[in-house]
Amino acid sequence: MPTIVMTKLASKLDPSLKKKAFAFLEKLAEDDTTPGLHIEPINGSADAKVRTGRVDAGFRAVLFKMTSPEGTSYVVHGIWPHDDAITVAKKTVLSLNPVNGVAEVRTIETPVEPVAPPVREPVEPEPAVEEKAAQVVPETVEEAPVAGPLDGLDVTALTEDLGIDAGVARAAVGTRSEDELLDIAGNAVEWQGLALLDLAAGHTVDEVKDKLGIGAAPVPAGTDDEAILEGLRHPAAQMSFTYIENSEELRRVIEGGDFGAWRVFLHPEQRQYAEKDYNGPFRLSGGAGTGKTVVLLHRARTLARREPGARIVLTTFTKNLAEAMSRDLERLEPGLPRADQLGGAGVHVSGIDALASAVLRVAGADVERDAQTVLGVGSSRLVGRTPPEVWRDAIEDHGGGLPEPLRSPAFFAAEYSAVVLPQLITTREAYFRARRTGRGVALDRGRRAAVWDVIESYRAKARMDETIDFHEAAAIAAVHLRRVAAEGGGHVADHVLVDEGQDLAPAHWMLLRALAGEHANDLFIAEDSHQRIYGQKVTLSQYGIAIVGRSRRLTLNYRTTAQNLGYAMGVLSGGEYVDLEDGTEEHGDYRSARSGPAPRLLPAGGLGEELDNAAGLLRAWLDAGVVPETIAVLVRDRWKADQVVNGLGDRGVVVRAVDREKIQPGQPVVMTMHRAKGTEFSRVLLFGVSEGSVPAALRDEQYDDAAASDALLRERSLVYVAATRARDELAVSWSGKKSGILGS
């Protein structure tokens, strides 16, 4: 049976061709001598390996056929109309890069006839020295040459050190703008284009070689076909080629389109993080769209394949994001062992709060003494969750001794989450001694006493209702797991993979640390401090998670265009961001591999005009053939979402509000910016980004300047998250004066 190798180009098929392409390739994988396939060489082709095959009466596949001791292999380059396929086949070659041994598909264009050198005009003889002195020479000012993205690099470095094509290298070195370089990179062999973008971002040639796994070309062993088959497995080649293991994987690659391709054709850097062993916790950071979640999914698959029976937990902040990861993992590998229950063999995917509930449910009555450790009062009835309004009730009853700014539910929720629960404080005296690092507002003994009165009231009200809040549940679950492990009961997980780590609270980190013991590959954490839209800042080392040098960052955005990314980054400017290791998070070197139109700005005098603009924009996108459900209107809150749905409906544009449910086909969607986390769309409109609407009211954060600044930082992050949901086009609208977050 022949081996099938797919290129990324071959995975991007017109929907009408996907079923026929799958049928053709499935038959090819079973028996390439089947008469109906019509696998034929092409006379006059630039590569003797090239073949075409009949997909249907009008379309043919372009393939490369190779043989080795293991059998026959076909590299599927793409599918075109019959005549176009013949033309492509004649001028396309599959070969090894002579510098580094990476397999590449290249197009051999018709040689251009050399142009005769221009006839030189006779030159007048130079005047004598005396004559020169007598001539009046006008003063001129030489203009300094414009610096280009690759200033300091020459063609030799690109071609001889990296292996970039000479024509591409000459064009790239001559560029004078990032847009020019993007155009060249977008038309180059994929690894070469990404290498150019890395160099433009300031990485050295050696750093680029390391990221791409590029070294000197190996000495060829065996036949030319065998050498190319080996080159197809090079880390840099795997961005463009993937070996198909079975018909189900073939179906996924074909039907997945761009979404599926992003999950199959990994950058060598991403693949390294997905497959490497780490001697302890590892942190992977990166901006929106850099592929952190993709790495997590591949790592889950790698661990499950490598260790049959391993208990792997894949978790994130919200239920919606966990459900999306579960679906994506199924698309990546449908047969991957899954665990329905925490502690079972396989991959268990769950939101973080659901994990805490699962621990408490299994513990049953045994959790009573753990509740005593966290809350000061033992109880095993921990099913209900305390609503946030209970803080307001407790403040009204017992917060009279506090100044007005501190009579804030936001202050108490943060104090309880960041100070009381992590330190397992259950008495007034313990709270007096508690460390309050990073809390900003100072509390003397008298104010601490008043704060503790409110906390005791909060706990008492919850106890009467037999409820605990989500952070209490996580803390109790963590204490329970630690106790069980200390008593010899072991741990419930072997590996824990965490997405959106920046949004987790201290008690969540206590739980995650307790799920798996401390050993190699115990915790793998993906985070982006620029996307922290919930909760306060957290430092991992405070919760027993020591990264100590096991931290890396992704900088290449695969989702959105350079123009959209630049706009989103502008929203972040003016804010200072700190990562989970308490280090400053930079964003200056984030870049995109794609170019597109500049974001569209739609100012309006009032809400009616803004809705008119939105309706016109959505109609234009739909009339252009954009798939409806790949269009999203993102707003600050649910009230605004309802307003937009009704307003667009009145203007003849039917859209669907999406909250907890899945996105369904057929209509553009309207959702809050928070709900949009973890999604991506072809076209995005940020609606209502007006002064007074974004940022939302921050009255509850006014108890401390630092708290107010942090809340404003989260609002910037929220708009950044929303803007980076757009793959191709971004539009931003507002009524009256635009939000100051948008800058100039």
Round to whole Å and give the CA distance between 449 and 401: 9
Q: Residue 194: in which H helix or E strand, if any?
A: helix 190-200
CA dihedral 128, 129, 130, 131 (to 10 degrees): 50
Round to whole Å and give the CA distance between 656 and 641: 10
Q: Which residues of the chain are under the pLDDT cut of 70?
A: 110-146, 256-263, 744
695 near 688, Cβ under 8 Å? no
Round to whole Å and give the CA distance between 715 and 719: 6
Residues in CB range of 683: below 8 A, 6 or more apart: 621, 626, 630, 631, 632, 726, 728, 729, 730, 731
Structure tokens at 198: 């890395």
At 119 the pLDDT is 42
CA 363 from centre of chain? 36
Structure tokens at 557: 């955005």
Structure tokens at 178: 């990032």
433 near 443, Cβ under 8 Å? no
Round to whole Å and give the CA distance between 242 and 235: 11
Across the beta sheet with 241-244, the strand order is: 40-41, 50-54, 59-68, 71-81, 3-7, 241-244
For residue 495, which amino acid is it? H
Render pLDDT for 676-720 as a digit per residue (tens, 0 to 9). Answer: 999 999 999 999 999 989 998 787 787 888 888 889 999 999 999
DSSP one-letter code for 292: H
CATH of domain 566-742: 3.40.50.300
At 81 the pLDDT is 95
Nearest to 281 by CA among 575, 533, 551, 570: 551
Round to whole Å and give the CA distance between 88 and 46: 10
At 391 the pLDDT is 96
Nearest to 436 by CA among 451, 456, 418: 418
CATH of domain 3-97+222-259: 3.30.2310.20
Domain residue spans of the chain: 3-97+222-259, 266-363+474-554, 391-465, 566-742
Q: Tell me the pLDDT of the chain averaged across its residues.
A: 90
At 143 the pLDDT is 52
Structure tokens at 606: 């009032």
Q: Where are the alpha helices (DSSP H) in 528-633?
A: 562-572, 607-623
Across the beta sheet with 669-672, the strand order is: 600-604, 726-735, 681-686, 631-635, 669-672, 656-657
Residues in CB range of 111: below 8 A, 6 or more apart: none
Round to whole Å and give the CA distance between 345 and 639: 43
Structure tokens at 680: 């991506």
Structure tokens at 177: 């703008």
Q: Which sign, positive or negative, has the C-alpha torsion 685, 691, 692, 695?
A: positive
Q: Give the HSE-up count for residue 502: Cα atoms under 13 Å, Cβ half-sphere.
A: 26
Residues in CB range of 107: below 8 A, 6 or more apart: 91, 92, 93
540 near 547, Cβ under 8 Å? yes
At 427 the pLDDT is 97
Round to whole Å and give the CA distance between 316 and 297: 12
Q: Where are the alpha helices (DSSP H) in 61-177?
A: 82-91, 129-134, 155-156, 166-173
In terms of Cβ atoms closer than 10 Å to its own Cβ (0-12, 13-18, 19+), residue 145 is exposed
CA 171 from centre of chain? 30
For residue 46, which amino acid is it? A
For residue 399, which amino acid is it? G
Structure tokens at 395: 């403040």
Nearest to 583 by CA among 623, 525, 539: 539
- Cα distance from N-terminal residue to C-terminal residue, the chain: 61
DSSP one-letter code for 554: E
Round to whole Å and give the CA distance between 174 and 593: 19
CA dihedral 138, 143, 144, 146 (to 10 degrees): -160
At 383 the pLDDT is 78
At 535 the pLDDT is 80
What per-residue string of b and e applies to 659-684 under the rule 16 or more CB within 10 Å gives b? eeeeeeeebbbbbbbbbbbbbbbbbb
516 near 493, Cβ under 8 Å? yes
Residue with tokens 């390391």: 210
Round to whole Å and give the CA distance between 474 and 458: 17
345 near 356, Cβ under 8 Å? no
CATH of domain 266-363+474-554: 3.40.50.300
- φ and ψ at 138, to 5 degrees? -65, 145
Round to whole Å and give the CA distance between 303 and 8: 25
The domains spanning 266-363+474-554 and 566-742 adopt the same CATH topology? yes
Round to whole Å and give the CA distance between 677 and 674: 6
Round to whole Å and give the CA distance between 500 and 123: 70
Instruction: Decide: helix, strand or coil at residue 679.
Output: coil
Round to whole Å and give the CA distance between 529 and 500: 9
Round to whole Å and give the CA distance between 398 and 390: 12
Structure tokens at 686: 């940020």
Q: Give the HSE-up count for residue 107: Cα atoms under 13 Å, Cβ half-sphere.
A: 10
Round to whole Å and give the CA distance between 308 and 330: 17
At 261 the pLDDT is 64
127: left (phi over 0), alpha (psi -120 to 50) or beta: beta
CA dihedral 228, 231, 233, 237 (to 10 degrees): -110
% of the chain beyond a pLDDT of 90: 76
At 109 the pLDDT is 72
